[in-house]
Amino acid sequence: MAPAAVPLNIKWLPLNSKLKAKSQLQTSSRNIEFERVQLPEKTRNSRVLVLGGTGRVGGSTAIALSNLCPDLRILVAGRNREKGEALVAKLGGNSGFSQVDLNDQDSLQTALQDVDLVVHTAGPFQQAEKCSVLEAAINTKTAYVDVCDDTSYAVRAKSFMSRALAANVPAITTGGIYPGVSNVMAAELVRAAETETEEDKPERLRFSYYTAGTGGAGPTILATSFLLLGEEVIAYSKEIRIPLQYMVFRNLPEVRSAFEILGVPTVSARFGTAPFFWNWGMEAMTNLLPPEFLRDRSKVQMLVELFDPVVRAVDGIAGERVSMRVDLELSSGRSKVGLFSHSKLSISVGIATAAFALAILEGSTQPGVWFPEEAQGLAIEAREVLLQRASQGTFNFVMNRSPWTIETNPKELGLGIYV
């Protein structure tokens, strides 16, 4: 189907707007109302295995899936039965626990035998040697989505393209909140700009991410953050790949995929956190510790154990608000912005990941291994639905706006007149 010609202009999407059917489930900290999704008949009762479901991202994804589609059969998978069964008790009758170690290929393949979709959230993806879950998914003909946030891992996942095609398996890599929803926001800003005028070309794309504290991170994200400090940061400036020295820039896979797939010549991603001294601490670690140390998973694990109590204490005060802003600059000098803000990263990341899982179950992903901004990974006409689903619970979500409209909070009097 041809892409819609109208520019996407989703405004702030208050929670509870236009809800058809609602469902509520006690999440870790509060009740959220979800708009239920009617899946096609043949996937309505699909079996979805959430690997890493005992963790923060996986647990939140399982909760969101069960809220959005109560008919799905959800398998929480991980190594720890006790933690898994505690979540299963919350999810209710349609769920179960599956004991899986992703380092044991046999246990993985056995677990995926009768599963329709695997959601892989069992990081860290940094410095992982194999894409064992994707490989098992292809061998068992199971659809796949991961929340990978590592460039090398995502590139390795893409190398399974021909095997996934041959097995007729649809797979998305980097399908979380960022990367994930942020890629789709970028893709839609570019599409809307290109639809509006042929002369005005996308020139520069900037991903800016903010999370208060560590965003209530589990130990895996803490490890991820440290491992990312050991990586050379790559951005693209006028189609030239440049390593960056500054700590605020991060080596994130969406920089590469946006550059290669959306064809924007200058792309970068930055990350900031609060309180301010976390940024200083990260910068100090980058400067003081050798990169080889920060790339060693076992040494990083020791750091995580050392820092974990301090991180938990500061997180208790900082909260876990998350905000992402995608800026697209055009050759005429015009800019368009997308903004997404949620008060709880731990909830929002699950809703975002669930939105990708549902898109696969709805048939919006073709066989092969795809990034979210690829039309074969997420059909162009399915993007708006994904963004609306993923932004449930946000306190601010806008797309394709001029920067001044979100920076000054203007009031529209009508007929395009603002004060």
How long is the chain?
419
Query: Is 170 near ligand NAP (CB under 6 A)?
Result: no
Residue 267 to residue 254: CA distance in whole angstroms:
9
> Binding ligand NAP by CB under 6 A: which of 177, 190, 267, 324?
177
- DSSP per position, 358-396: HHHHTT-S-BEEE-TTSTTTS-GGGHHHHHHHHTTT-SE
Closest CA to 143 of 39, 223, 234, 14: 39
Region from 55-63, 185-193, 313-321, 378-386 binding ligand NAP, contact rule CB under 6 A: 55-63
- The dihedral built from the CA positions of residue 353, 356, 362 and 365, taken in this order, carries a sign that is negative
Residue 352 token pair: 């975002």
Query: Is 338 near ligand NAP (CB under 6 A)?
Result: no
Within 23-52, which residues bind ligand NAP (CB under 6 A)? 51-52
CA distances from 375 to 80, 117, 184, 268, 381 (A): 37, 20, 10, 22, 9
CA distances from 169 to 163, 198, 228, 352 (A): 9, 35, 30, 21
Query: Is 56 near ligand NAP (CB under 6 A)?
Result: yes
Region from 10-18, 172-180, 262-270, 368-376 binding ligand NAP, contact rule CB under 6 A: 172-180
Query: Is 79 near ligand NAP (CB under 6 A)?
Result: yes
Do residues 407 and 210 touch, judged by C-beta distance below 8 A? no
Region from 96-104, 264-272, 366-374, 405-413 binding ligand NAP, contact rule CB under 6 A: 96-104
- DSSP per position, 9-78: ------TTTT-SSEEEEE-SSSEEEEE-----GGGTT-EEEEETTTSHHHHHHHHHHHHH-TTSEEEEEE
Query: Nearest approach, Cβ of 331 to ligand NAP (angstroms)?
Result: 30
State the residue for tokens 């997420």. Answer: 378
Residue 365 token pair: 């992903």
Measured CA angle at 174 (ends 173, 175), to 5 deg: 95
> Binding ligand NAP by CB under 6 A: which of 180, 372, 377, 393?
180
Query: Nearest approach, Cβ of 78 to ligand NAP (angstroms)?
Result: 3
- Looking at beta carbons only, is 83 or 297 nearer to ligand NAP? 83
State the residue for tokens 């162009």. Answer: 380
Residue 241's CB is within 10 A of a number of other CB atoms, namely 11
Site string for ligand NAP, 349-388 (x = CB under 6 A): x---------------------------------------
Query: Nearest approach, Cβ of 219 to ligand NAP (angstroms)?
Result: 5
Q: How many residues bind ligand NAP (CB under 6 A)?
A: 34
> Binding ligand NAP by CB under 6 A: which of 25, 33, 71, 83?
83
- Judged on CB neighbours under 10 Å (0-12, 13-18, 19+), 162 is exposed
Query: Is 99 near ligand NAP (CB under 6 A)?
Result: no
Q: Which residue is nearest to ligand NAP (CB)?
A: 123
> Binding ligand NAP by CB under 6 A: which of 8, 13, 100, 337?
100
Query: Is 219 near ligand NAP (CB under 6 A)?
Result: yes
- Looking at beta carbons only, is 103 or 168 nearer to ligand NAP? 103
Within 107-166, which residues bind ligand NAP (CB under 6 A)? 121-125, 147, 149
Residue 6's CB is within 10 A of a number of other CB atoms, namely 10
Within 241-300, which residues bind ligand NAP (CB under 6 A)? none
Query: Is 57 near ligand NAP (CB under 6 A)?
Result: yes
> Binding ligand NAP by CB under 6 A: which of 13, 39, 64, 102?
102
> Binding ligand NAP by CB under 6 A: which of 70, 179, 202, 338?
179
Region from 64-72, 214-222, 272-280, 378-386 binding ligand NAP, contact rule CB under 6 A: 214-222
Region from 8-16, 64-72, 74-82, 363-371 binding ligand NAP, contact rule CB under 6 A: 74-82
Strand segments, DSSP code E, in 136-249 are 143-146, 170-172, 202-212, 233-237, 240-244
Query: Nearest approach, Cβ of 206 to ligand NAP (angstroms)?
Result: 18
Do residues 146 and 120 touch, judged by C-beta distance below 8 A? yes
Per CB under 6 A, residues contacting ligand NAP are: 51-52, 54-58, 78-80, 83, 100-103, 121-125, 147, 149, 176-180, 217-221, 224, 349
